């Protein structure tokens, strides 16, 4: 069986690993010159978004755990700064996963498992051409563009992100979040640590352009009192939505190309890995693809509803919304 994978990101590499486990040696077409993430960032797996249905969550984690990917650290504390209060949540809240050029990054862990897969760097994958040359094609580019070309993309919203890699003194198990209309409208800012000395901080502003995000970024730095050393800055837009159908003839969509970005905080890497593995099992074993990732589809719809609720109640405390859907041990403190 001949399989082409377009994109050597999380979902593409996970798919290749699972195909190799089934005795299939795919070919990966990667437009960039390497597999590493640019800019370096942290993705979070938050338990709050996996409590709605224990049965499907068990299946979701069974697929995810089959890759044996190690997190950077567990999330034991979330500190949330709203315009009126500071809320601290503690417990087993989830995990941090790294996307860097380090050996503990998710992409390095996945690529190190590959033995016979050929990765063609600096090669554009033309899905029309490849679908005629290969038995199956997986689109895993991290973009919605090919799904849009095929009439499968339904966009929910667009956000602009500006952030930086920062140096300082951090608790590797603590996630920090800010909200405030003046610097992010109905968006948020989030800080996640790589380790004790380095973290990623990002400001997400809905429906802003790249010029406007610069204005909001300066407001955020002033309002938050951030004093860390900024060593690498970045700026980009991302789009959240869903892809349907997830398979067109012999072409599958996975990861962000399948609309798997979680629509509240914008995390999508763990979903990308699960969809890549599920696509490989659909190709190699004939399993139904949509049934395997039903958890992701239904959960993202639920999170989209949660996000819409948050936007409508923005003047209220987001901590009350989050606490009501599952984070343990939330306590409000007066704002310092």
Closest CA to 35 of 116, 130, 142, 191: 142
For residues 224 and 130, the answer to whether their CB atoms sit within 8 Å is no
pLDDT given at position 39: 83
Contact 88, 330 (CB under 8 A): yes
**Homologous superfamily assigned to 3-334:** FAD/NAD(P)-binding domain (3.50.50.60)
Domain boundaries, the chain: 3-334
Say if strands 85-99 and 229-243 run parallel, antiparallel, or are unpaired.
unpaired
Residue 41 host element (H or E)? strand 41-46
Q: What is the mean pLDDT of the chain?
A: 87
Predicted pLDDT of residue 87:
86
The pLDDT tens digits of the residues spanning 294-327 come to 888 888 888 887 777 766 665 455 555 555 544 4
- Total-model pTM: 0.89
Tell me the pLDDT tens digit for each residue of 4-41. 999 999 999 999 999 999 999 999 999 999 987 678 88
281 has pLDDT over 80:
yes
pLDDT in tens, 189-226: 999 999 999 999 999 999 899 899 999 999 999 999 99
Cα–Cα–Cα angle for 67, 165, 76, nearest 5°? 55
Mean pLDDT of 81-96: 88
> 73-81 and 174-178 as β-strands: parallel, antiparallel, unpaired?
parallel
> What is the pLDDT, as a whole number, of residue 323?
52
């Amino acid at each position: 069986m001949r399989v082409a994978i377009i994109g050597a990101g999380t979902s593409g590499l996970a798919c290749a690993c699972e195909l190799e486990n089934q005795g299939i040696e795919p070919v990966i077409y990667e437009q960039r010159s390497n597999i590493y993430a640019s800019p370096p960032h942290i993705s979070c797996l938050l338990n709050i978004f996996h409590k709605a249905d224990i049965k499907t969550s068990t299946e979701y984690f069974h697929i995810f755990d089959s890759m044996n990917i190690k997190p950077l650290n567990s999330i034991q504390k979330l500190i949330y700064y709203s315009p009126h209060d500071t809320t601290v949540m503690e417990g087993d809240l989830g995990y941090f996963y790294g996307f860097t050029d380090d050996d503990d990054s998710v992409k390095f862990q996945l690529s190190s498992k590959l033995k016979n897969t050929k990765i063609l760097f600096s090669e554009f994958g033309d899905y029309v051409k490849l679908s005629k040359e290969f038995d199956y094609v997986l689109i895993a580019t991290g973009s919605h563009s090919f799904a849009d070309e095929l009439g499968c993309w339904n966009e929910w919203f667009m956000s602009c992100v500006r952030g930086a890699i920062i140096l300082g003194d951090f608790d590797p198990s603590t996630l920090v979040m800010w909200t405030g209309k003046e610097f992010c409208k109905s968006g948020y800012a989030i800080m996640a640590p790589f380790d004790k000395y380095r973290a990623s901080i990002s400001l997400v502003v809905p429906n802003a352009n790249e010029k406007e995000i610069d204005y909001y970024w300066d407001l955020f730095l002033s309002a938050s009192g951030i004093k860390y050393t900024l060593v690498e800055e970045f700026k980009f837009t991302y789009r959240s939505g869903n892809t349907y159908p997830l398979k067109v003839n012999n072409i599958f969509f996975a990861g962000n190309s399948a609309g798997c970005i979680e629509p509240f905080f914008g995390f999508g890497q763990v979903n990308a890995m699960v969809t890549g593995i599920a696509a490989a099992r659909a190709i190699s074993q004939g399993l139904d693809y949509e049934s395997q990732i039903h958890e992701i589809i239904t959960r993202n719809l639920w999170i989209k509803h949660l996000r819409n609720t948050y936007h409508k109640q923005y003047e209220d405390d987001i901590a009350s919304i989050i606490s009501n859907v599952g984070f343990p041990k939330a306590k409000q403190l007066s704002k310092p």
